[in-house]
Amino acid sequence: MRSIISKHGLMRAQLALCGALCLCLIMSCQIIGVASAIGQNIEREKKIEVLAKYAGLDNKSVAILVKADMGTVYEHPTAVSNISFNLAQRLQENVPGIKMMDPRVCMNFQHQTPNWSAQPLGQIAEELDVDRLVILDLYEYRLNPAGNRYLWEGVAAGNIGVAERDGLDSDQTVDQWNVSAQFPLDAGVTRETMSMAVVQRGLLTTFVRNSAWVFYDHIEEKYPDVKK
């Protein structure tokens, strides 16, 4: 009898131990899962320092010339002027010692000189009396996907080049960088859920920021396209 009871007691003890081990394993897995999720969130929130691609605007006089095709100008008549003014302001606030030419003077020069883009860049720099020319060629600017006015899909893209009046070849840009922006980031945003003014402002702000970042050190999100 004692042997039977002893065996039953041993079995119950073994079952209890197994149950406790299983519970510990489950809790361990849950803890690992929570820790992993926290780790992923921390990684997604990380920011990194990015150095300027071109630091040659520091302590220089600078003029910004923005150009776009006639279709873009017709469809978005304020895009070029808005980019010019906001980019000039952002550079003035963030580039050490920079002296920005009034964007109104730059745009007036462009209006009075329709063929300015065909002129030697060194000649333009001398005429405007600046050390650097920042040329932004806006080759895409839209608020909707092609053929669909119901959805918002803002995209802006352009090439930025810099001409140095005192460079080895003042008539050529020293380099060129592609800059783009998208707003909103979410797909399927409709006119009912977001106004045109919000889309225009969001796209302009993002594109100008990305364009200005070419010229000074800054902090960026490590994963800018990850939804939070």
pLDDT score recorded for residue 220: 85
pLDDT score recorded for residue 33: 60
Per-residue b or e along 149-168, where b marks 16 or more CB atoms closer than 10 Å to that residue's CB: eeebbbbbbbebbbbbbebe
Q: What residue spans define the domains of the chain? A: 2-44, 50-221
pLDDT score recorded for residue 42: 52
Hey, how many other C-beta atoms are within 10 angstroms of the C-beta on 206? Answer: 19
Over residues 131-187, the pLDDT tens digits come to 999 999 999 999 999 889 999 999 999 999 999 999 999 999 999 999 999 999 999
pTM over the 0.85 mark: no
Q: Which is more confidently placed, 9 or 162? A: 162
Over residues 83-93, the pLDDT tens digits come to 999 999 999 99
Q: Tell me which CATH code domain 50-221 carries.
A: 3.40.50.10610
Token pair 């970042």: residue: 213
Q: Which is more confidently placed, 2 or 82? A: 82
Over residues 18-58, the pLDDT tens digits come to 555 556 556 666 666 655 555 555 555 678 888 999 999 99
